[in-house]
Amino acid sequence: MDVMKKVGDILDEAQQNKRPFDLPVSYFEGLEERVSSKIGKQEQGGGFFRILKPAVLLACSFVFVLLIGYGVLSVTHTSGSDIRQAVEASQVTPDDPEAEVIIEYLAQNISLDDIQEYMFSESDNN
Amino acid sequence: MNDEQIIELYKAGEKRQAFNLMVRGYSERLYWIIRGIVQTHADTDDALQNTWVSVWNALDTFREDSKLYTWLYRIATNEALSLLKKNRLRAALSFSDFSAQVENTLQADPTFNGDKLQLALQKAIATLPPRQKAVFTMRYFDEMPYEEMAEILGVTESSLKTSYHIAREKVLERIKKNDIED
Say yes or no for a CB contact (<8 Å) between B115 and A32: no
Q: Which of residues 39-98 of A touch B (CB under 8 A)?
A: 39, 42
Quick check: B89 pLDDT over 80? yes
Name beta bridge partners: B112: A21
Distance CA(B61)–CA(B55), nearest Å, equals 10
Query: Which CATH number is B45's domain given?
Result: 1.10.1740.10
Contact residues on chain A for B171, CB-CB shorter than 8 A: 11
Q: CB-based contacts of B23: which residues, under 8 Å, 6+ apart?
A: A31, A32, A35, B52
The interface predicted TM-score (ipTM) is: 0.75
Q: What is the mean pLDDT of residues B79-101?
A: 83
Which chain A residue's Cα is nearest to B54? A39
Instruction: Using alpha carbons, select from B27, B39, B30, B26 the residue that is nearest to residue B133.
Output: B39
Is B23 in contact with A15 (Cβ distance < 8 A)? no
Using the predicted structure, report yes or no on whether residue B154 has a pLDDT greater than 50.
yes
Output the pLDDT for position A23. 86
**Residues B31 and B97: beta-carbon distance below 8 Å:** no
**Residue A108: what pLDDT?**
67
| Alpha-carbon gap, residue B173 to B179, rounded angstroms | 10
Domain ranges, residue B36: 3-181
Q: What is the mean pLDDT of residues A39-57?
A: 73
Nearest CA in chain A to B124: A11
Q: What are the DSSP E strand ranges found in A48-125? A: none
Judged by average pLDDT, the poorest of A5-14, A85-94, B82-91 is A85-94
CA distance B146 to B139: 8
Q: Once rounded to an integer, what is the mean pLDDT over residues A27-33?
A: 89
Q: How many domains does chain B have?
A: 1
Within 13 Å, how many C-alpha atoms sit on residue A125's CB side? 6
Residue A48: pLDDT band by 50, 70, 90 thresholds? low
Chain A residues touching B52 at Cβ < 8 A: 35, 38-39
Q: What is the pLDDT of residues B102-136, one digit of tens each?
A: 778 877 888 888 888 888 888 889 889 889 999 99
| Backbone torsion region of residue A96, taken as left when φ is above 0, otherwise alpha when ψ lies between -120 and 50, otherwise beta | beta
* Low-confidence winner among A52-61, B64-73, B168-177 (lowest mean pLDDT): A52-61
pLDDT band at A73 (very low <50, low <70, confident <90, very high): confident
